[in-house]
Chains A and B, each alone.
Chain A
Amino acid sequence: MARRLPRKDVVIIGLGWTGSILALELSRTGLDVVAIERGPWRDTATDFNIGTAADELRYAVRHDIFLRPKQETLTMRNNSSQTALPIRKWGSFLPGNGVGGAGVHWNGQTWRFLPDDFRIRSHMIERYGAGILPESNHIQDWPISYEELEPYYDKFEYVAGISGKAGNIKGEIQTGGNPFEGARARDYPTPPMTQGHAQDLFGRAATGLGLHPFPRPSANISVAYTNPYGCSMAPCTYCGFCERFGCANYSKASPQTCVLPALIREPTFEARTECEVTKVNLSNDGKMATGVTYVDADGQLWEQPADLVLVCAYSLFNVRLLLLSGIGKPYDHAKDEGVVGRNYAYQTGSGSTAYFEDAKFNPFAAAGSLGVALDDFNSDNFDHGAQGFVGGASITSAHTNGRPILYHPTPPGTPSWGGAWKIAVRDTYQRVTNVSAQGSVMSYRNNYLDLDPTYKDPLGRPLLRMTFDYQDNERRMANWMAERCDEIAKAMGAKATQVNRLTGPWSVVPYQSTHNTGGAIMGRDPKTSVLNRYLQSWDVANVFVMGASAFPQNAGYNPTGTVGALTFWACEAILKYLKSPGSLVQP
């Protein structure tokens, strides 16, 4: 039996990027805000000590700051004819856990999606005709335009101190930036990072091929910076311990560096860590949330009544919580009806590995979002008519790390152990680099999330079931991109290259990307979306759902920049809602 606690104005589920930003903005208006977080409190000073933060075995191999699969995992299958099985060790993606969420362990690439990405369905039909859209697709326009979101991208970038070079300020193309990007009001808050040798070669080669390379926008920042909340960051030391690690140098934007120091000073804010929300409670008619039920570390159940419930967990777990709480109609694949779990999407990875005769790439002098990219093949920046696929990719030369345990590339044909392997590692370490394509994934009837009929978590609740595979459209796109990467790699002067294509069914084993999107998408029509354009539930007006779960399909970029922008966009709407409660959009 849950014990009932005194009412709060706002309950926030999950204290990562979105939860911490909303907590700060709302508690500053005087609202009583409680954030309930499944994992532990984490703080730069006490948890990411410079002497112990760079522990590859602890963090990268043993997944110290990630969710434990025994706490909660997913079942997965490639298609609905299969029986899904639980993921017992994280591989393809790594869900975060604890205060800061995935914002602790990310690499830090902070992109804006392109204007065309927000109206991709209309745009593709207008330019190429409806025949270009793949079979069984669920591709939808976003219910918001790039222009509407621009001020909120700006807000997030200035909170996070992002290092980059603008390519388009108020419609004027800027030399050295991305000429394809949407117009921005002003440049990035900090200048681009210092690039390495591989990026110099890539930049020259790409320019020679008539392409448009630019430094990628980075949350590993280049110079000291203090954000509008008064939180300070230090210049990145290029130590190469970003993804899977907390930053000990105050250099990587995260809730810890950018939001929490200000948030914890707010007298009306409270965090309850190691407490897991088990469901959002609804009124008898199911139209309003009355609060949440959660279980603390001792197994005690608590009911936290609140006027407003903000679902701010990781995208996959947002979807699961909505399904477990009965908010929105679950997606039924057989009938192609319902919305919660619909439009799950992911990311493609392909490219070319380039071996050089005598180069010194010093991959250990790196950062998670150090790199040079180009957008000539992203979104609809090129003619899709001849290719017959939808979507695109950002193509990049990057070294995120050269760490001793997991980074030892060897040429094809090298034995996987023994003397010959050691020699190959020694000879290859400094002489290999990659040109990679991170591609979009469209949404389809066949890719979705629902509750597993068999497997349950330790509290007896069904696990989330993921049904996903790359569809023909994505395979063709990714493999075409791999060829483009290979052309650039050869132009860089590589003596040998190896093209990495997207082959075989999607596998949960090798790490690919923690860019899981969709499942609780925003849209204009309640029949095909869970949330309206303000990230407000169509069904329960005092529930808002943040995160990449709102993306109708995924673009050829990392999601965090757009997640951050949507949070600030939704925050304004939430303040409007508080003045005059009710649905902010009439369907």
Chain B
Amino acid sequence: MRFATKGARPRRIVRLLWAIAIASVMMPAVAPADSDNYVEIARGKALATIGDCVACHTAPGGTPFAGGLALQTPFGAIMTPNITADNTTGIGSWSADDFARALHDGRRPGGTYLYPAFPYPYYSRVTRADTDAIYAYLHSLPAVVNRVNRNTLPFPFNIRLSMIGWNALFFTPGGFAPDSGRSGEFNRGAYLVEGLGHCGACHTPLNAFGANKADQYLQGNQIDHWTAPNITNDRQAGLGKWSVDDTVQYLKTGQTRTSIASGPMKDVVENSTSKMPDADLRAIAVYLKERGAEGPRPPAALLSSDARVRMGEAIFVDTCAACHKRSGEGVVHLFPRLAGNVIATQDDPASLIRIILTGGRGAATDATPTAPAMPSLGYRLGDEQVAAVVTYVRNSWGNAASPVSAEMVKALRERVSAARE
């Protein structure tokens, strides 16, 4: 529009008056955060970092916390809301009680049901003191006007009341109950992993209703066509070979000697775990180490004479060995060691297939800023070749895992391409 007509002006004034009227009616209901309470706000910022709120509540290229990211779920895309303190498009008009209710019960101030793409089944464990601190922090940020369409799911999933049934089946509200038989460090780790950290939201398999399978907690899942691996203490399928220090180093720097965070975990490390206090990272590592080990038994390694392994070895020598080395040992800080790498031997080979097809970039942190890249090889390796080299990597240097078929590669290639378009 190049200029406003005279007729438009009175209407705009009326609208403005309405807005002022509504705002003044709502004002008393709001308990504004005390903007001078730096201690509380700083604590809230640290907690929001642990929760990695910014990851979902920021559109690509958008203002942090102003929402608008399309979260892909099996039921359709959900646009994440604006959680800055804007009164109309954000949560500026919410009280601390409203905020706590959303986190603990999955309900908006009017009572509307939230979808569990917002992981309130985890946040239900967060203490009220902590939700208040996060509330104070979010209210200390500049209010950003950004209206997000919150009704993008198709029928019948757009009926938010359906969440009553979902909650009855899959949601156990209630605070965190520490295990008195365990150390304070373990319990701190449990509070972070089971609560604000919501690790299980990605690392636990989902049932047909999109709820975490409680009996397979932290046993791995596929997320955005990447493997979120098993992070139980299982020696074969999980982090059993990682020491507490390895896990701390991974969360802090984005890498261990065998692994470099890539895919969605790269963002988690960069935005969240690399900025957390070492004591919390250690608590998480201790909890993951001590809480138990569950995962599928690995099959026996394929014979090196297997035709798929031999084909894969030839491709590996030509295409992969310059960086990852003939021995699979890789190069420290840059090229992950494939020998003994638990990501390579996950039951679900999606990450390994995907990183060959599309490439990927490692996490950059203050400690390890280089962020090395795996080049995309999907343009010059066919499905059968990718399947062969993945099968070789999964069954060499002491690794043992199920073979991968060309059909699996083809299916993942199609899904990844579709997601990109």
Count of residues in B whose CB is under 8 Å from the partner chain = 22
Q: Are A51 and B375 in contact (CB under 8 A)?
A: yes
Q: Which of A222-230, A348-356, A557-565 contacts B (4 or more CB under 8 A)?
A: A222-230
What is the CB-to-nearest-CB distance from B67 to chain A, in angstroms, rounded to a whole number?
24
| A-chain residues with CB within 8 Å of residue B375 when the two chains form the complex | 49-51, 248
Interface residue B370 (Cβ < 8 Å from any Cβ of A): yes
Q: Are B370 and A250 in contact (CB under 8 A)?
A: yes
Task: Name A45's closest neighbour in chain B (CB-CB).
Answer: B373
Q: Are A224 and B331 in contact (CB under 8 A)?
A: yes
Q: Are A232 and B322 in contact (CB under 8 A)?
A: no
What is the CB-to-nearest-CB distance from B296 to chain A, in angstroms, rounded to a whole number?
34
Interface residue B368 (Cβ < 8 Å from any Cβ of A): yes
What is the CB-to-nearest-CB distance from B93 to chain A, in angstroms, rounded to a whole number?
32
Q: Are A234 and B368 in contact (CB under 8 A)?
A: no
| B-chain residues with CB within 8 Å of residue A50 when the two chains form the complex | 322-323, 375
Q: Are A229 and B369 in contact (CB under 8 A)?
A: yes
Contact with B along A243-263 (1 / 0, CB 8 A): 000001110000001000110
Q: Are A44 and B377 in contact (CB under 8 A)?
A: no
Q: Which of B284-292, B359-367, B410-418 contacts A (4 or more CB under 8 A)?
A: B359-367
Interface residue A265 (Cβ < 8 Å from any Cβ of B): yes
CA distance A257 to B322 in the complex (A): 18
Say which residue of A44, A224, A231, A233 sits within 8 Å of B373 (CB atoms). A44
Count of residues in A whose CB is under 8 Å from the partner chain = 25
| B-chain residues with CB within 8 Å of residue A235 when the two chains form the complex | 331
Say which residue of A51, A230, A249 sits within 8 Å of B377 (CB atoms). A51
Say which residue of B322, B331, B367, B373 sits within 8 Å of A46 (CB atoms). B373
Interface residue B420 (Cβ < 8 Å from any Cβ of A): no
Q: A50-B322, A50-B323, A250-B370 are in contact. Are A232 and B334 (CB under 8 A)?
A: yes
| B-chain residues with CB within 8 Å of residue A145 when the two chains form the complex | none
Task: Name A235's closest neighbour in chain B (CB-CB).
Answer: B331
Q: Are A224 and B368 in contact (CB under 8 A)?
A: no
Interface residue B33 (Cβ < 8 Å from any Cβ of A): no
Interface residue B266 (Cβ < 8 Å from any Cβ of A): no
Which of B373, B377, B379, B380 has its CB near the most chain A CB atoms (within 10 A)? B373
Q: Main SS of chain B's interface residues?
A: loop
Interface residue A237 (Cβ < 8 Å from any Cβ of B): yes
Say which residue of A230, A234, A239 sits within 8 Å of B334 (CB atoms). A234
| B-chain residues with CB within 8 Å of residue A257 when the two chains form the complex | 370
Q: Are A230 and B372 in contact (CB under 8 A)?
A: no
Q: Are A234 and B331 in contact (CB under 8 A)?
A: yes
Q: Are B370 and A232 in contact (CB under 8 A)?
A: yes
Q: Are B322 and A45 in contact (CB under 8 A)?
A: no
CA distance A262 to B364 in the complex (A): 9
| B-chain residues with CB within 8 Å of residue A230 when the two chains form the complex | 366-370
Q: Are A45 and B323 in contact (CB under 8 A)?
A: no
| B-chain residues with CB within 8 Å of residue A51 when the two chains form the complex | 375-377, 379-380
What is the CB-to-nearest-CB distance from B45 to chain A, in angstroms, rounded to a whole number?
16
What is the CB-to-nearest-CB distance from B326 to chain A, in angstroms, rounded to a whole number?
12
What is the CB-to-nearest-CB distance from B136 to chain A, in angstroms, rounded to a whole number?
24
In the complex, chain A residues 199-241 whose Cβ is within 8 Å of any chain B Cβ: 224, 226, 229-235, 237, 239
| B-chain residues with CB within 8 Å of residue A229 when the two chains form the complex | 369
CA distance A249 to B321 in the complex (A): 12
Q: Are B369 and A231 in contact (CB under 8 A)?
A: yes
Q: Are A231 and B370 in contact (CB under 8 A)?
A: yes
CA distance A574 to B331 in the complex (A): 37
Interface residue B311 (Cβ < 8 Å from any Cβ of A): no
| A-chain residues with CB within 8 Å of residue B367 when the two chains form the complex | 230
| A-chain residues with CB within 8 Å of residue B370 when the two chains form the complex | 230-232, 250, 257, 261
Q: A250-B372, A261-B371 are in contact. Are A237 and B331 (CB under 8 A)?
A: no
Contact with B along A39-60 (1 / 0, CB 8 A): 0000011100111000000000
Q: Are A249 and B322 in contact (CB under 8 A)?
A: yes
CA distance A232 to B335 in the complex (A): 11
Q: Are B323 and A262 in contact (CB under 8 A)?
A: no
Q: Are B364 and A249 in contact (CB under 8 A)?
A: no
| B-chain residues with CB within 8 Å of residue A45 when the two chains form the complex | 361, 371-373
Which of A44, A230, A231, A233 has its CB near the most chain B CB atoms (within 10 A)? A230
| A-chain residues with CB within 8 Å of residue B198 when the two chains form the complex | none
What is the CB-to-nearest-CB distance from A239 to chain B, in angstroms, rounded to a whole number?
8
Q: Are A224 and B371 in contact (CB under 8 A)?
A: no
What is the CB-to-nearest-CB distance from A206 to chain B, in angstroms, rounded to a whole number?
32
Which of A224, A231, A232, A257 has its CB near the most chain B CB atoms (within 10 A)? A232
Task: Name A260's closest neighbour in chain B (CB-CB).
Answer: B369
Interface residue B333 (Cβ < 8 Å from any Cβ of A): yes
In the complex, chain B residues 364-413 whose Cβ is within 8 Å of any chain A Cβ: 364, 366-373, 375-377, 379-380
Q: A45-B373, A51-B375 are in contact. Are A265 and B323 (CB under 8 A)?
A: no
Which of A50, A248, A257 has its CB near the most chain B CB atoms (within 10 A)? A50
CA distance A237 to B325 in the complex (A): 10
In the complex, chain A residues 243-289 whose Cβ is within 8 Å of any chain B Cβ: 248-250, 257, 261-262, 264-265
CA distance A137 to B371 in the complex (A): 50
Interface residue B161 (Cβ < 8 Å from any Cβ of A): no
Interface residue B332 (Cβ < 8 Å from any Cβ of A): yes
Q: Are A249 and B332 in contact (CB under 8 A)?
A: no
Q: Are B369 and A265 in contact (CB under 8 A)?
A: yes
CA distance A222 to B370 in the complex (A): 19
| A-chain residues with CB within 8 Å of residue B323 when the two chains form the complex | 50, 234, 249
| A-chain residues with CB within 8 Å of residue B334 when the two chains form the complex | 224, 232-234, 250
What is the CB-to-nearest-CB distance from A269 to chain B, in angstroms, rounded to a whole number?
13
CA distance A231 to B362 in the complex (A): 13
Task: Name B380's closest neighbour in chain A (CB-CB).
Answer: A51
CA distance A233 to B335 in the complex (A): 10
| B-chain residues with CB within 8 Å of residue A261 when the two chains form the complex | 364, 369-371
| A-chain residues with CB within 8 Å of residue B379 when the two chains form the complex | 51
Q: Are A237 and B322 in contact (CB under 8 A)?
A: yes
| A-chain residues with CB within 8 Å of residue B376 when the two chains form the complex | 49, 51
| A-chain residues with CB within 8 Å of residue B371 when the two chains form the complex | 45, 261
Contact with B along A504-530 (1 / 0, CB 8 A): 000000000000000000000000000
CA distance A257 to B369 in the complex (A): 10
Task: Name B331's closest neighbour in chain A (CB-CB).
Answer: A234
CA distance A51 to B366 in the complex (A): 29
Task: Name B371's closest neighbour in chain A (CB-CB).
Answer: A261
Q: Are B335 and A234 in contact (CB under 8 A)?
A: yes
- List 8 tightest A-B contacts by C-beta distance, closest first: A45-B373, A232-B333, A261-B369, A234-B331, A232-B370, A49-B375, A261-B370, A234-B334
Interface residues of chain B, those whose CB is within 8 Å of chain A, are 322-323, 331-335, 361, 364, 366-373, 375-377, 379-380
A–B complex contacts, Cβ < 8 Å, 19 sampled:
A44-B372, A45-B371, A45-B373, A49-B376, A51-B379, A224-B331, A224-B332, A226-B332, A229-B369, A231-B369, A232-B332, A232-B370, A234-B334, A234-B335, A235-B331, A249-B322, A249-B323, A262-B369, A265-B366
A49-B373, A50-B375, A234-B334 known, 8 other contacts, Cβ within 8 Å: A45-B361, A49-B375, A49-B376, A51-B377, A224-B331, A230-B369, A231-B369, A250-B372
